[in-house]
Amino acid sequence: MPVTIPAVGTAEPLVTVQVRAQVTGQLSRVHFAEGQEVRKGDTLFTLDSRPFEAALRQSEAVLARDTAQSKNAKSQQARYKELFDKGLIPRDQYETQDATAAALDATLAADQSQVENARLSLQYTVIKAPVSGRTGALAVHEGDLVRANDAAPLVIINQVAPIYVSFSVPGRYLPEIRQEQAKRPLQIHVRDSQGDAPGTPQTAPPPPGSDPAPANGTSASGTKGQPTLVQEGGVVSFIDNAVDPTTGTIKLKGTFSNADHGLWPGLFVQVTLVLSTDPTAVVVPAAAVQASQAGQYVFVVKPDRTVEMRTVKVGRQQGEEMVIADGLKGGEEVVTDGHLRLNPGARITTGTRGQGAGAPGQGGGERGGGERGAGERGAPAGTAEPGDSGGGRRGSGGSQS
């Protein structure tokens, strides 16, 4: 029987990127559709590149002019050095020419930077996807004037495969979570918030004629007319570094591959964190456990088909089943229905649900009681399977001696 912690979580994208332009220009083309899956490096937008091409040519021309001037200044410097060494010109004239050559070298470096900047601005006219993911709504259209580093992004890309599920659990579970995580990656299962409650076992056999749910991935099953989304295979990938003092909870994140995009950013889900598995748990249906002034108890069916009231200690409840810490052992039969018509020592017989006291063919002194084996899981409530050995039977209708 798994030891789990239920919680409510929210799906979050693994990466969210707001795409903005780095240069100002007119948007000439959009290369994708809203909501499309894009890969890293795909072209998203193209801006009008003509102004940037002209700026690049101008920068290159300035660089060529200053290069020629620098070459001439260096030639002059060489001649002035020969004349200075022969004492034909004064020192100040030589040093002036030397400074002119050095200044033109610095001008060349500045011109080269201008060329590189113009070339980079030209590259920015093509906006590519920085990450792989799904695009959101477009904020601009072809022909719009796009401004550099505008407050509103052109589009938002969310990476949804893989995806995070963020949830919080009470801080008292932190030591156990860390202890179990040190042994192995902790598994997480999530379910649509419209479905069953977290922790409800999903091992019950499907109804006749229905398709069995897959062991992994995503499946949908009907619950009161609403689909129940199940996503399995997640692992805890993040534990916050502090417990929230206002709520006493600690934040965790689980990572899911989400290959079929069953989880969507912002979706509220019910999370089941699997800490460990108890291989020898004694389990009974929750309906079998009753409360009294002396504590919780069950009616145990003895071999002679009489019932015995037995006090039990409940370890925990897991959905529709309870784990019994003390008072029962595996294989014992317990009553799951008709407790108010029973008392210790009553003799019962079992039948299908619907044959309750007062039904045709039943006497006025009948006692109703369904029975099911402790430790067995997965039998549908209100069914009697022929040939069951031990449990899985619930009934109403019996006689008391």
- Residue 4 scores a pLDDT above 50: yes
**Which of 134, 129, 69 is closest to 266 using CA atoms?**
134
- Regarding whether 367 and 312 lie in a shared domain, the answer is yes
Mean of the pLDDT values across residues 82-89? 84
State how many domains the chain has. Answer: 3
Each residue of 206-265: pLDDT tens digit?
333 334 333 334 443 444 444 465 677 899 999 999 999 999 999 999 999 998 888 999
pLDDT at 338: 85
Q: Which of 252, 275, 298 is the last residue of a domain?
A: 275
In sequence order, the β-bridge partners of residue 314 are 324
- Regarding whether 305 and 204 lie in a shared domain, the answer is no
- Regarding whether 332 and 268 lie in a shared domain, the answer is no
- Regarding whether 93 and 196 lie in a shared domain, the answer is no
Is 400 domain-assigned?
Answer: no
- Regarding whether 315 and 264 lie in a shared domain, the answer is no
pLDDT at 132: 93
- Regarding whether 164 and 119 lie in a shared domain, the answer is no
Q: Are 314 and 282 in contact (CB under 8 A)?
A: no
Cα(324)–Cα(284) distance, integer angstroms: 7
Segments forming the whole domain that contains residue 243? 2-12+159-275
Question: Please, what's the b/e burial string for 14-39 (b: 16 or more CB within 10 A of its CB; e: otherwise)?
Answer: beebebbbebebebeebebeeeeebe
Is 140 domain-assigned?
Answer: no
- Regarding whether 328 and 252 lie in a shared domain, the answer is no
The proportion of the chain whose per-residue pLDDT surpasses 70, expressed as a percent, equals 78
The set of residues, in sequence order, having a beta carbon less than 8 Å from that of 224 and lying 6+ positions away, is none
Q: Which of 240, 275, 310 is the last residue of a domain?
A: 275
Q: Which of 275, 297, 328 is the last residue of a domain?
A: 275
Residue 288's domain is classified under what CATH number? 2.40.420.20
Question: Per-residue confidence at 79, pLDDT binned at 50, 70, 90?
Answer: confident
pLDDT at 85: 85
Each residue of 49-78: pLDDT tens digit?
999 999 999 999 999 999 999 999 888 888
- Regarding whether 257 and 187 lie in a shared domain, the answer is yes
Where would I find the H helices in 151-274?
A: 174-183
Higher pLDDT, 231 or 193: 231
- Regarding whether 286 and 267 lie in a shared domain, the answer is no
Question: Per-residue confidence at 94, pLDDT binned at 50, 70, 90?
Answer: confident
Higher pLDDT, 233 or 184: 184
Each residue of 334-344: pLDDT tens digit?
999 888 888 88
Report the range of poorest mean pLDDT among 99-108, 220-229, 268-277, 335-344. Answer: 220-229
Q: Are 285 and 278 in contact (CB under 8 A)?
A: no
Is 224 domain-assigned?
Answer: yes
- Regarding whether 329 and 242 lie in a shared domain, the answer is no
Amino acid at 152: A
pTM of the model: 0.66
Total H helices, total E strands in the chain: 3, 21
